[in-house]
C-alpha cells in the first residue's frame, strides 16, 4: 500500500506518540524502516516510492533484538540472579526474544554468545527469518501501519 511522504511521516508520528505504545515492536518497526530506508539510493521526484520487503524488516528486527537476548545480572536479597530482560508487560516473553534464544541454544559454542553476523551463516537461520517474518513482523507491528491488509 503506497503512502505519500506526508502520510508516511504522519503514520510514523502516530505510531510513536500514540497512547497505546506498549510494545517495543512498534519502535523496532520505526527503527527497521528508517535503517532500511537509509540504505536505499536517493530517489528522484520521478521515483518517489521505495519498497521494503517483509523479510528485510524481519532481518532488521532480528538485528535490533539480538543483543537483548544476552543475559544480564541482577542483584537480589538472595544474591545475583542472571536472566534475560522481559520484553512484555504480561508474564510471557516477547516472541522475537524466544525465537532468538531458542536459535542461540541450538547453536551454542560454549559460554560465548553467537553474534547476529555469525547466526546468518548457521543452519536454521532461514527458518528463523521466515518465522520472524510471519509470526512477528506481519502479525504484530505492521497492523499499526497497514491495518488488516
pLDDT digits (tens, 9 = 90+) for 13-43: 777 776 554 567 778 888 888 888 777 666 6
- Please give the residue range of the domain that contains residue 53: 5-146
Residue with the bigger pLDDT between 116 and 27: it is 116
Mean pLDDT of the chain: 78
What is the per-residue pLDDT for 148? 37
Span 44-95, pLDDT tens digits:
666 666 778 899 999 999 999 999 888 777 788 888 777 666 655 666 788 8
Q: What is the share, in percent, of the chain residues with pLDDT greater than 90?
A: 27
Q: Which residues pair with 67 in a beta bridge?
A: none
Q: Is 135 helix (H, G, I), strand (E, B) or coil?
A: helix
Task: Note the pTM of the prediction, 2 decimals.
Answer: 0.75
Q: For the chain, how many structural domains are there in total?
A: 1
What is the per-residue pLDDT for 56? 92
Residue 140: band (very low, low, confident or very high) from pLDDT cuts 50, 70, 90? confident
Segment of 78-92, 112-126, 131-145 carrying the highest mean pLDDT? 112-126
Q: Is 106 helix (H, G, I), strand (E, B) or coil?
A: helix
Q: What are residue 76's phi and psi, to 5 degrees?
A: -130, 175
Amino acid at each position: 500500500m503506497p503512502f505519500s511522504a506526508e502520510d508516511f511521516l504522519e503514520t510514523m508520528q502516530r505510531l510513536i506518540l500514540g497512547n497505546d505504545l506498549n510494545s517495543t515492536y512498534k519502535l523496532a518497526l520505526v527503527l527497521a524502516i528508517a535503517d532500511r530506508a537509509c540504505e536505499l539510493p536517493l530517489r528522484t521526484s520521478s521515483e518517489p516510492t521505495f519498497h521494503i520487503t517483509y523479510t528485510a524488516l524481519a532481518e532488521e528486527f532480528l538485528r535490533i533484538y539480538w543483543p537483548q537476548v544476552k543475559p544480564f545480572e541482577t542483584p537480589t536479597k538472595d544474591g545475583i540472579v542472571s536472566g534475560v530482560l522481559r520484553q512484555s508487560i504480561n508474564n510471557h516473553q516477547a516472541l522475537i526474544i524466544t525465537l532468538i534464544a531458542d536459535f542461540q541454544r541450538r547453536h551454542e559454542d560454549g559460554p560465548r554468545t553467537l553474534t547476529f553476523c555469525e547466526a546468518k551463516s548457521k543452519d536454521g537461520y532461514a527458518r528463523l527469518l521466515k518465522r520472524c517474518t510471519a509470526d512477528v513482523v506481519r502479525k504484530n507491528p505492521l497492523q499499526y501501519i497497514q491495518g488488516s491488509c
